Amino acid sequence: MDAPTPPMDQQTPHDATHDSRLGHRLDDAVVVRTDKMALAAVISGITGVGMALSLSLPLLSVVLEERGVSPSMIGINTATAGVAAIAVLPFVTRLAERYGTARLIIASFLTMSATLMGFYFISSFPLWFPLRFIFSASVTIIFALTEFWINSLAPEKKRGLVVGIYTAFLSVGISVGPILLALVGTRGIAPFAIGSVALLLAAVPVMMVTDRQPVLPGGSHGSILRFATLAPLALLAALVFGAVEAGGAAILPLYGTAIGLPEGNAVILVSAIAAGNVFSQIPIGYLADLMSRRLLLTICGAVGAIGAGLMPFVSDNYPLLLVVLFITGGIVAGLYTVGLVHLGARFKGADLASANAAFVMMYAIGMLVGPISLGASLDLYPPNGFAYAIALMFAGYVVFALMRVGRTGF
């Protein structure tokens, strides 16, 4: 017969120690499980955002083009996103400290959903500028806080893999949006309603893990200049990628129609890039845990320059153009993934929150520059000026990276 368990006040120190260790193990198991729940919630939420964004960006461009708005003006309207991001980012950390990270993310989802429907009901082009500002400010808040959340939860030795999974699922959403747009078309309320509902659904998982939201620590509100000095390749990667991604999503369908593609096929060009991101980001994130991140960033930029330079030579072969965009788009998205991993490994606590805000700020500046310059390049040198402008952006990054590496090494 088993000996009876002594009362709590009669247990030996060994018994108490054993219970304490068991309790810690149980607590750790709960933390691990809820952390995975938080990761899953944030990742599923950002997938919905990706779908709504990739549907809305070409949708809004096509709608404006049908109303007779020029590519340059479409680019300027799209660039409002960059202005909104630059305006809101200095306040994101303080707002999250006051209202809570999860609550602010959820409010941004709801605002995006309402604003997207506003584009359908409001036809005045001047009013699309404040609408775009509100919509883009909400997007900025979501990205800044979810990326900080992901970096806070990621284990040190698997940070690249976790960030790669995050960006891969974001790309899944981005790849689905244009496909849905091609299926339902750009006319009527349907595409706007689909994007709006997707954003509402994206808020649900985050609502379920509000108790696992990260605490934004005070004590560091460093400027972009400070972090640009400490991690220049990562922040410049965000700038270049922001310019190409925002400009490409908005102007690439117009490039497609300029080279003679039907509207549906032109929209699918955006999906080809996003599909490449889906398959590439987890391997790239894994590589970021194993090799020099500076070298990996340089390689990503070089692939972008070569791929964009090839576009004019394959523009008359639609399947081959899709392949080039699939490979190039997948690799260059590594600029964002590896840049995030680099910041997460370099900074902690308050510095990580501020560094991530600076990273998103640089991306936002790219969103401001990219649509204007790429739209103007399509206007000035139709149709291939668009591709050559992208190639020059990536080439400039590679030159800077090689100069940086030449001084400090990989």
List, for residues 94-146, the tens digit of each pLDDT value: 788 888 888 999 999 999 999 999 999 988 889 999 999 999 999 889 988 88
Residue 292 lies in a domain: yes
Residue 50 sits in a domain whose CATH number is 1.20.1250.20
Residue 63 lies in a domain: yes
Residue 62 lies in a domain: yes
Residue 26 lies in a domain: no
Residue 350 has a pLDDT of 65
Cβ atoms of 102 and 41 closer than 8 Å: no
Residue 108 has a pLDDT of 95
In this predicted structure, the answer to whether residue 12 has a pLDDT above a threshold of 50 is: no
Residue 29 has a pLDDT of 39
Separation between Cα atoms, residue 335 and residue 244, nearest integer Å: 11
DSSP 381: S
Residue 50 lies in a domain: yes
Separation between Cα atoms, residue 371 and residue 367, nearest integer Å: 7
Which residue range(s) make up the domain with 158?
A: 34-408
Residue 386 lies in a domain: yes
Question: Nearest to residue 115, comparing CAs of 80, 166, 91?
Answer: 80
Q: Chain-wide mean pLDDT for the chain?
A: 82
The most confident of the ranges 69-73, 290-294, 406-410 is 290-294
In this predicted structure, the answer to whether residue 49 has a pLDDT above a threshold of 70 is: yes
Place of tokens 């729940």: 37
Domain count, the chain: 1
Residue 254 has a pLDDT of 87
Residue 10 lies in a domain: no
Residue 16 lies in a domain: no
Separation between Cα atoms, residue 169 and residue 154, nearest integer Å: 16
Please write the tens of the pLDDT for every residue from 164-185: 888 888 878 877 887 888 788 8
Residue 390 has a pLDDT of 94
Residue 216 has a pLDDT of 63
Percent of the chain surpassing pLDDT 90: 29
